[in-house]
Every structure is written in structure tokens, then in C-alpha cells.
Amino acid sequence: MAKAIPLEELTVFSAKNIPALDFPYRDGAVFLVNKPKGWSSFDVVRFLRNRINIRKIGHAGTLDPMAEGLLVLCCGKATKSVNQIQEKKKKYTGEITFGASTPSYDAETDIDQEAPYEHITRGKIEQVLEDEFSGEIDQVPPMYSALKRKGERLYKRARKGEKLELQPRKVIIYSTRIIDYQPPKLTLVVECGKGTYIRSIAHDLGVTLDSRGYLSRLTRDAIGKFRNENALTTEQLNEIFDT
């Protein structure tokens, strides 16, 4: 069984290192791609497959369709290194809207509850983030997620109207920083570990503040040393591969 290629030995293609048409991608390569809003992570995988003509491509950490930003794609032998990348610290910028909640904890589903938010101040948010959303915490994943229960994705069961009691999981929040708060919208930067749902942070933060909240916008800024500012856009990839 082939061993994973160490991260420092991977060939990484980005806006700073443009991919070449004749590169042997089956030998292992990594693409930094800025996923557009509205695309699923698999849409991006399929998009790249059609351009470099390789079946073996996987992403190192999914992004929801409503989210945008950094998606790391591993090709050929580099797919053995996916777990190495997934373990790295992640950085997100998210917008949380207080005063309402949704079943999916984001803007993908309709509002199902409303609550007052006028009492929420920046100071209260900062205190709750420090007390409840710092370090290792217990987090219940959203029902609308790709996690499996009895072999079926949770989001498929949620769409059928099923409600399951999900167990909390340990996740790590390294830091949170408020960028802006213009009620009811909060812009927040979160640095976190593997398996953290920013949607769950939005929902739980709203509840903890005696209101409701959902994730109305999300961008993944970084995974480890990889930065979205260096990622290739789908338009650039189209130009490079002349499609």
C-alpha cells in the first residue's frame, strides 16, 4: 500500500504556481481552488476531473454549497495525503444573523423560529465567545450534514422530515475575533480544528445569547499553510486548460 506523500514534498498548484498542461498529475499534485458560492465540493472535483482527465481526485475537507473559499484538491498519489491536510487548523470568516434560526443552521433552508435580538451587545457576544466557544468544546453537529447514521447521510434523513438525537463531539476552537457587529448581523473570524461546524457555532451562539441565530455567509480563508488568497478561481482554471 502506497504511503502518504509528506506535505512538504507535495506539488501545490495555485495562483502563484500555475499548473502546466503536461504535468504528470497521476504522480501526485494539490490544487488550491476558490470554491464559488452555490457549488458543492463535488462540483469542484468534477470540474477539475474534466480538465486534467484524472479520475482519482479528492478534497481535503468539504465546504457547504452556500459557502465559498478555499477547497484543497488532491490528485493521483496525493490523495493518500488528504488526512494530513484535514488535520490542519482552519480559518473561516462567517456572518451570523441573529433573531432567527433555520433547520440547517444556515441560509439554505427557510426560517423556522424567530426571537428578539435587540438585547445582544458586542460585549455580551465577546464574553460568551470567551466562556463557551474557546478551547475544546462539545458540539452537536447539524442534522443537515454529510455525517452518516446507519449508512445514510444525515441531510437526506433531514429532508425526509426525520429528527434524530445527535450526540455531541469534541472539537477545538483556537480563537474567535469579531470583525463587525451591526445588529442583527455579526461578522466573525474563527480558527478551529477538524470537524468543527461553523453553522453549529452560529446556532449555539444565538441560543446562548437568549435569541436565535443562523449562518448567513461563510468563507474558508485557510487550511494550515494554504491560503484562499492564493487559490485559483474556476475562471482561471478554464483559461489555463482552455475549455
The residue range of the domain holding 171 is: 90-223
**Same domain, yes or no: 77 and 17:** yes
Cα–Cα nearest to 40, from 16, 17, 15, 59? 59
Higher pLDDT pick, 165 / 111: 111
Question: Which segment of 109-118, 143-152, 189-198, 218-227 scores lowest on mean pLDDT?
Answer: 143-152
* 72 and 134 co-located in one domain: no
Domain CATH for 64: 3.30.2350.10
Catalytic one among 64, 210, 221, 242? 64
Q: Mean of the pLDDT values across residues 192-209?
A: 96
Clarify whether residues 74 and 149 are in a common domain: no
Is residue 11 a part of any domain in this protein?
yes
| 184 and 119 together in one domain | yes
Q: Residue 148 above 80 pLDDT?
A: no
* Within a domain: 206: yes
74 & 117 share domain: no
Query: What pLDDT score does 142 carry?
Result: 81
Flag whether pLDDT at 200 surpasses 90.
yes
Domains identified in the chain, total number: 2
- At residue 151, does pLDDT exceed 70? no
Provide the 8-state DSSP code for 198.
Answer: H
Do residues 101 and 215 share a domain?
Answer: yes
State residue 141's pLDDT score.
Answer: 84
Confidence (pLDDT) at 150: 56
- Does residue 64 have an active-site annotation? yes
Span 34-69, pLDDT tens digits: 999 999 999 999 999 999 989 999 999 889 889 999
Check whether residue 65 and residue 153 sit in a common domain. Answer: no
Q: Is 119 exposed, middle or buried (0-12, 13-18, 19+ CB in 10 A)?
A: exposed
* SS3 assignment, position 94: strand
Give the distance between the most distant pair of CA atoms in the chain: 59
pLDDT number for residue 84 = 94
How high is the pLDDT of residue 192? 98
In a shared domain, residues 65 and 101: no
| Residue 140 confidence (pLDDT) | 86
User: How do residues 66-79 score in pLDDT, each as one tens digit?
Assistant: 999 999 999 999 99
Are both 99 and 210 inside the same structural domain? yes
In a domain, 2, yes or no: no
Q: In terms of domains, do 231 and 151 share one?
A: no
The alpha helices in the chain, defined as continuous H runs, are 41-52, 82-86, 122-132, 154-159, 198-208, 234-240
DSSP letter assigned to residue 75: E
For residues 134 and 173, is the Cβ–Cβ distance under 8 A? yes
Flag whether 119 is in a domain.
yes
Residue 1 lies in a domain: no
- pLDDT of 185 above 80: yes
Looking at per-residue pLDDT, the higher value among 151 and 89 belongs to 89
Are 207 and 196 contained in the same domain?
A: yes
pLDDT of 143 > 70? The answer is no
Q: Does the residue 145 lie in any domain?
A: yes
pLDDT on residue 127: 98
